[in-house]
Amino acid sequence: MRYLPHTDDEIQAMLQVVGVEGLEDLFAPVPGGCRRKEAMDLPAPMTEWELKDHVRGLAAMMKVKPDFKVLIGAGSYDHHIPAIIPALTSRSEFLTSYTPYQPEMAQGTLQGIFEYQTLTARLLGMDVANASIYDGASALAEALLMGIRISKKKKKVAISSAVHPHYRQVARTYFRPTDFELVELPVTADGRTDLAALEGLEDLAAVAVQSPNFFGIIEDLGAAAAAAHQREAIFITCFTEPLAYGLLKNPGSCGADIVCGEGQSFGIPRCFGGPGLGMFACRQQYVRSMPGRLVGQTTDLDGRRGYVLTLSTREQHIRREKATSNICSNQGLCAMTAGIYMAALGGTGLRELARLNYDKAEYFKAELVRAGAGICFAGPTFNEFVVEFDRSFRPVARRLLRKKVVAGLELGGHYPRLKDKYLFCVTETVSREIIDTVIEEVRR
């Protein structure tokens, strides 16, 4: 096996040093009762070329080919990934290193993550961002728990029902074994969170909304922040599409205390939903309650600038069960990817790209309305929106699939009252021609 370098002679020589006869004798400490009775039931090993053939077969089972256009976002977006990203992230010094416990040998990772933290904080209008956590959903769950930690005695949080359904499910999973309570806020006719529903909710530790929300609607973050703060609750803003903040007011300027969400849009392939990037930022005053790794700037013995993991007294290997979280890693390479993407796009590029996404969606919405479809929510949107049709959309979707277009996500499974309504997404990767093809089929 090409990954196993030992020759038989070397094995013999080493066994002699260890003082045992054969390789299996190394396992003498494993009691007989713990031993396997049979070998592991696994397929026979493959050579590299056999594996490639096998994977081609798996790829062929995918009905959606790489040249298809998938007009679904819902937390996983098709944005162009420039060639520099795989070129840089496949550098094995980044790829095959571990958590930078030994900073003198990991300044590349550390400076890269410090830059990621800084660009993320600037994007979201916050003071501090951490080195990332698993994904948008766990970021939100951790943010809610952080809100409870900050508010000390309060045990209830409110979360908008326009937050991604999977994110709400994950939050419920994290809350299930605790005595904390999670209440959901309904949505108004314009697709925004109904802040009036906060009336009568006492003792709220935190209020969380998503913007743009699951329906693509841009929430009134200023109003939501005011409503949360009026109740002395921490205001959490979550997102699935960070690109929106190239164009929109950032959550920090609207009064958010914690901002978290999914950063997959920034140069990370959709890859069936993972790995993604849990982006997480907060105001300076809450930094010691924040979960996750943090990189900080310092100096070496000669006074030169350098970077280290820091504030580890919040973390589990020191604080054990009193830690701010059990998270002991980050999505390192994905954070590095997002940093490279933000650096390559720059402030000017990010604005242009965000604007283009907005314009495409507006064009798509207007054409759909002209074709007789209805836009379900009146609120402003970014690059996703919910549509209803005057007759069944299924035959249209089938025809579009033959034209290599996967059109929209049916919402009935997530929101029973939105049955037969579709969530559509367009990004810069969808040309006007594709949009016009969809419109043509809708009209037929």
Binders of other proteins among 305-324, rule CB under 8 A? 306-308, 310-313, 316-317, 319-323
Residue 203 interacts with other proteins (CB under 8 A)? no
> How far from 97 is each of 106, 132, 296, CA to CA, in Å?
8, 17, 19
- Omega cis (within 30) before 212: yes
Please classify residue 190 by burial: count the beta carbons closer than 10 Å to its beta carbon, then call 0-12 exposed, 13-18 middle and 19+ buried: middle
Q: How far is the CB of 170 from other proteins (least distance, A)?
A: 5
**Closer residue to other proteins (CB): 299 or 392:** 299
Q: Which secondary structure element, helix H or strand E, spans residue 85, and what is its range?
A: helix 84-89
Can you tell me the distance from the alpha carbon of 366 to that of 289, in angstroms, rounded to the nearest whole number?
45
Can you tell me the distance from the alpha carbon of 164 to that of 170, in angstroms, rounded to the nearest whole number?
10
243 and 49 in contact (C-beta within 8 Å)?
A: no
* Contact residue for other proteins among 333, 368, 386, 387 (CB under 8 A): 333
Interface with other proteins in residues 89-128 (CB under 8 A) = 90-109, 111-115, 117-119, 121-123, 125, 127-128
For 77, the 3-state DSSP assignment is coil
* Contact residue for other proteins among 228, 336, 400, 442 (CB under 8 A): 336
Tokens of 362: 């507006």
Closest CA to 279 of 229, 338, 329: 338
Please classify residue 320 by burial: count the beta carbons closer than 10 Å to its beta carbon, then call 0-12 exposed, 13-18 middle and 19+ buried: exposed
Q: How far is the CB of 68 from other proteins (least distance, A)?
A: 9
**Closer residue to other proteins (CB): 355 or 391:** 355
Can you tell me the distance from the alpha carbon of 279 to that of 284, in angstroms, rounded to the nearest whole number?
16
**Closer residue to other proteins (CB): 118 or 188:** 118
Interface with other proteins in residues 153-192 (CB under 8 A) = 164, 166-167, 169-170, 172-174, 176-179
* Contact residue for other proteins among 293, 368, 385, 387 (CB under 8 A): 293
User: Which residues is 59 bridged to in the sheet?
Assistant: none
Interface with other proteins in residues 13-72 (CB under 8 A) = 13-15, 17-19, 23-24, 26-31, 33-37, 39-48, 51-52, 54-55, 58-66, 70, 72
**Closer residue to other proteins (CB): 197 or 295:** 295
Q: How far is the CB of 254 from other proteins (least distance, A)?
A: 9
Residue 416 interacts with other proteins (CB under 8 A)? no
**Closer residue to other proteins (CB): 198 or 268:** 268
